[in-house]
Structure formats: C-alpha cells, structure tokens
Amino acid sequence: MKLITPHIITEGGTKYKLGTLKGNEILYDFDQILIYLEAKGKLLFGAHFKIHKSDRAIIYKLCNYQIRDWATCKKLDIDLRKGILLSGPVGCGKTSLMKLIRHITPHYTPYDVIPTRNITFAFNHIGYRIIKQYGDHSFYCFDDLGIEPIGRHFGKDCNVLGEVLLSRHELFLKYRLKTHGTTNLNAHELEDRYGSRVRSRMRELFNLVAFDNGSRDKRS
C-alpha cells in the first residue's frame, strides 16, 4: 500500500516530520532526520542510544544514500546503483546504523540485516542450499563480513560468504539488485579472507563508507 505521507513517521504516538512533500518529491531536512533517528534508536536499542556528533558525517552519507538524493550522492562520490559496505572498528556502531537508517524510508522495500556467522552455521547444517537461498531476489545487509568461520558440510570446506557474494554480484549485473554489508576488515584483509576474485566483485557491488580507525567503541 502506498503511503500518503511517507515524510511523516509516527513512533509511540509521536509524529516525526522528516521533510516537506512537494508534489511526488520529499524535500528532506537532515536535522529533522537526526531527531527521528535518535528517537527510533532509543526504541530499537535502549535509552542509552544517542547520535554522536562525531558520526554525523557518516550518517549524512548513509541518509542521502537511503533517500536516493542523486545530486548529493554524486558530490559525495556515492553510486546509487551500488550497495553500501560500512566499515570501521569494533563497536563503532556499524550494525546499529544499518538497522536504523532503513526506517527513514518506509515507502521503500527494506533490507534484512543478517549476521554472516548465522549464514555459515546454516550452511554447516543444511549445505549448499543456503548459498542459493541468499542468492535470491531479496534485499540483504550481511553483517560482519569476513569474521565468519569457514563453512563445513559433510567434511567439505566452503568459503560460504565468498560464494554468496559471487551470487549477489551476478544478480547485480543482471537486475541491479543491491547488497549491503558491514565489516571490521580493511580491503587487504577482505582480499585475504575471500580472495582477489571476490574482492574485485565487491568493488563493483559496494560503495565503501568508512568510519575513522580512531572511532571509539560505543559499547564500552
């Protein structure tokens, strides 16, 4: 069902106006989006959640990507045809942001955030069907790429997420189907984990959005 007012989101009886509606176009207000994101974050993750000033530049990129602001994304060197790979140190808030950002566009089909270790554990149990399952036409964000264990089914090892990413790349080429991800690893570490072939495909699949290496652990 098409939302009549997709720029106004109600949470817990409170209305949050993220911008103004002009014809079929929403003119978003970043400051209003931040107010909503902090409120939604508290509902999702607890009262301790807050938007840190140091993260505003990252959030600005993610928001403009999510609302599909072509002009701003071009200035930010973000290709809207690709997915997002959000990288950064442990605990900087990557997973929370990817779970949160999707809520500002309730009129778009959301992506599911799936821990990569869960995919590997499922492969160990049911085998290669799991690779086919995630190589479908659904939207996914693969959380913590590169730290999942090697899969093993009936004594045979498999780099499960590497195979899944190859399948997602084929879908990207054929249908422009987007895939997102988060990772603690840098480009060299990802190549060591998945190999040069998958790393090359990842460059085509993803826009890299990165926290500073010095970003603090917000869970501490």
Residue-level pLDDT at 219: 76
CA distance 212 to 215: 5
Residue-level pLDDT at 2: 55
In the three-class reduction of DSSP (H, G, I as helix; E, B as strand; rest coil), residue 217 is classed as: coil
Contact at 8 Å (CB) between 180 and 111?
A: yes
**pTM for this entry:** 0.95
Within 10 Å of residue 181's Cβ, how many Cβ atoms? 28
H or E segment at 194?
Answer: helix 187-194
Residues 6+ apart with CB under 8 A from 88: 94, 184, 210, 211, 212, 213, 215
Which region holds residue 27: left if phi is over 0, alpha if psi is between -120 and 50, else beta? Answer: beta
Give the type of residue at 138: S
pLDDT along the chain (220 residues), means of 10: 81 95 94 98 96 96 98 98 97 96 96 98 96 93 97 95 97 96 96 96 97 79
CATH code of the region 8-210: 3.40.50.300
CA distance 218 to 152: 34
Q: Which pair of structure tokens corresponds to residue 36? A: 């909503």
Residue-level pLDDT at 220: 63
In the three-class reduction of DSSP (H, G, I as helix; E, B as strand; rest coil), residue 127 is classed as: coil
H or E segment at 25?
Answer: strand 25-28
Residues 6+ apart with CB under 8 A from 98: 62, 84, 86, 113, 141, 143, 180, 182
Residue-level pLDDT at 119: 97
